[in-house]
Every structure is written in C-alpha cells, then in structure tokens.
C-alpha cells in the first residue's frame, strides 16, 4: 500500500494543528516542518509538492540498490541535537513509529526540550499507528492523526506485485514525514494468536478499574498509558524477546474487540 497525498498544504496543516494541540501550544508559532525522505536520482512529484509548501524543509536521505532508505535516521537525530543545542526550539514533535529514534528523543529531553510523538492511523483503510514502545514510553506526550484529519488530504492505494519491486518505500521520520505503509494484518502462523489472546484477557482481568474509556471512539486508538502497559504484559507473557509488529497489532486488535 502506498500513500498518495492529495492536498500537500492541507496535510502539512493537519500535522501542525495536531502538533500544537498535543502540546497545548495553540498560541505559539511552529518554527518549521522538516520532511525526511529517501531520494533516488531526483525528487518525486509528491516530494516536490511538499517542498513547495511554506515552512517545509526537505531532508533527503538516499535510496540503495534494493529500494531501502539510508541515512534518514541520522538526519533526524542530527537536526534534533542541533536545534536543541542552539535553543532554537523548546518543543518538538516527531511523526513516527520508529524505535531507532528513541535516542534522539532522549538527547532532546536532556537539553530541556519537551517531545511529543504522533502516529498515523486510519483503521477504515487498514492503517494502524504501529508506534514502538521504545518511543511512546519515552515521549512526553503521545497522539494520533486519525481518519477525521486524513480523509480530505490523502488516500491509500494498493501496490501491484510488479510495481512493488521498484517502488520507493516511505519511511517513518521526525518532525513530519509521509506516513509509513501499514503492516499487514497478522495471519495464523505469523503470531501465536492463542497465547496473545490469553495474555490480553489476563491483562484486562487484572485491571482495578473498568476500561470503558480505554479506546478513543473517534480514532479507535488505545490510550497511550494503557497501550504501553498492555504490550509490556504481552511481552512478559510470551517471554521471547521484543514483540514483533505483527504481535503488537494482534494484541491491540484483541484488546479493542474485548473492551
């Protein structure tokens, strides 16, 4: 599945609005939006359209021979260090789910900067936020862009088998970036569904208070604190190291269906 941004200016504004609301900074002005993406020989039409939006700066990584982005994470962390070291920002927002950016969050926070992390989730289109525990547990605030903000400014399109071999992948990035392509819905054999279902049921049963407000009805997003506790409980129950994205997705699906 690929992301097609139909209204670049509207999409950037939606991210800015969500960022300011998440950090309660409605009366403040954003410094700028950094867009991190891999670039092959030249910018794509979508990248050119985004760069043309006011206050958007492209930070370009590279694309290797097998279509993988390189150097994007280091650009994000470098910008965070530079901006915070020079006191250019007091708040930062990362639109990402990438656990590799946890170190960047910590470095910014050590310099007195408050960091929010925003995921992108459109359940109706099968797009789940897929934010790693490593970053949601470190962020000062966690939020999600849902279908209410996204429907008017972008759409998701399936990638054909032939096209997928040459398509440029989108990469989760910081400050703002194209939403990452969704992980496929887990199927039998990819995850131990019985064990995860049992772990989720046990987690729900252990809660001292009802979980009636644990899932946001408008975005279908699980409360960040409950989500962290849920995944940690499932991790302990499975006892095989870090949870895969498929395991996280399935645990959240079971939780939503149960509560």
More confident residue, 166 or 141: 141
Q: How confident is the model at residue 108 (pLDDT cuts 50, 70, 90)?
A: very high
Work out whether strand 69-70 and strand 91-95 pair parallel, antiparallel, or are unpaired.
unpaired
Length of the chain: 259
Mean pLDDT over 131-136 rounds to 84
Reported as a single tens digit per residue, the pLDDT across 145-190 is 887 888 888 876 655 444 433 333 343 334 543 333 333 333 434 6
- What is the structure's pLDDT at 162? 42
Reported as a single tens digit per residue, the pLDDT across 50-91 is 999 999 999 998 887 777 778 888 899 999 999 999 999 999
Query: 249: left (phi > 0), else alpha (psi -120 to 50), else beta?
Result: alpha
Beta bridge partners of 69: 63
Q: Are 205 and 244 in contact (CB under 8 A)?
A: no
List the domain boundaries for the chain: 2-164, 193-258
Q: Are 226 and 203 in contact (CB under 8 A)?
A: no
More confident residue, 216 or 59: 59
Mean pLDDT of the residues in the chain: 80
Q: Is the pLDDT of residue 105 over 50?
A: yes
Mean pLDDT over 33-40 rounds to 91
Fold (CATH) for 2-164: Rossmann fold (3.40.50)
Q: Is the pLDDT of residue 122 over 80?
A: no
Question: Which residue, among 212, 206, 200, 209, has the nearest Cα to 237 in the 3D structure?
Answer: 200
Mean pLDDT over 20-40 rounds to 90
């Amino acid at each position: 599945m690929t992301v097609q941004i139909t209204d670049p200016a509207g999409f950037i504004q939606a991210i800015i609005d969500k960022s300011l609301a998440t950090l309660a900074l409605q009366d403040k002005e954003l410094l700028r939006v950094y867009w991190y993406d891999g670039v092959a020989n030249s910018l794509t039409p979508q990248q050119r359209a985004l760069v043309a939006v006011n206050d958007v700066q492209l930070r370009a990584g590279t694309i290797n021979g097998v279509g993988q982005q390189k150097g994007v994470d280091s650009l994000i962390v470098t910008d965070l260090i530079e901006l915070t070291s020079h006191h250019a920002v007091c708040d930062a927002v990362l639109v990402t789910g990438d656990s590799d950016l946890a170190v960047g969050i910590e470095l910014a926070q050590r310099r007195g900067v408050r960091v929010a992390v925003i995921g992108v989730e459109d359940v109706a289109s099968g797009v789940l936020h897929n934010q790693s525990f490593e970053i949601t547990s470190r962020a000062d605030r966690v939020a999600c862009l849902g279908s209410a903000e996204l429907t008017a400014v972008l759409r998701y399109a399936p990638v054909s088998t032939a096209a997928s071999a040459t398509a440029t992948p989108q990469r989760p990035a910081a400050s703002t970036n194209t939403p990452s392509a969704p992980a496929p819905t887990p199927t039998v054999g990819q995850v131990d569904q019985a064990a995860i279902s049992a772990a989720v049921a046990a987690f729900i049963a252990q809660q001292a208070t009802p979980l009636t407000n644990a899932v946001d009805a408008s975005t279908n997003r699980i409360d960040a604190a409950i989500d962290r506790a849920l995944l940690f409980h499932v991790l302990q129950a499975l006892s095989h190291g870090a949870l895969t994205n498929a395991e996280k997705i399935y645990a959240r699906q079971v939780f939503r269906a149960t509560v």
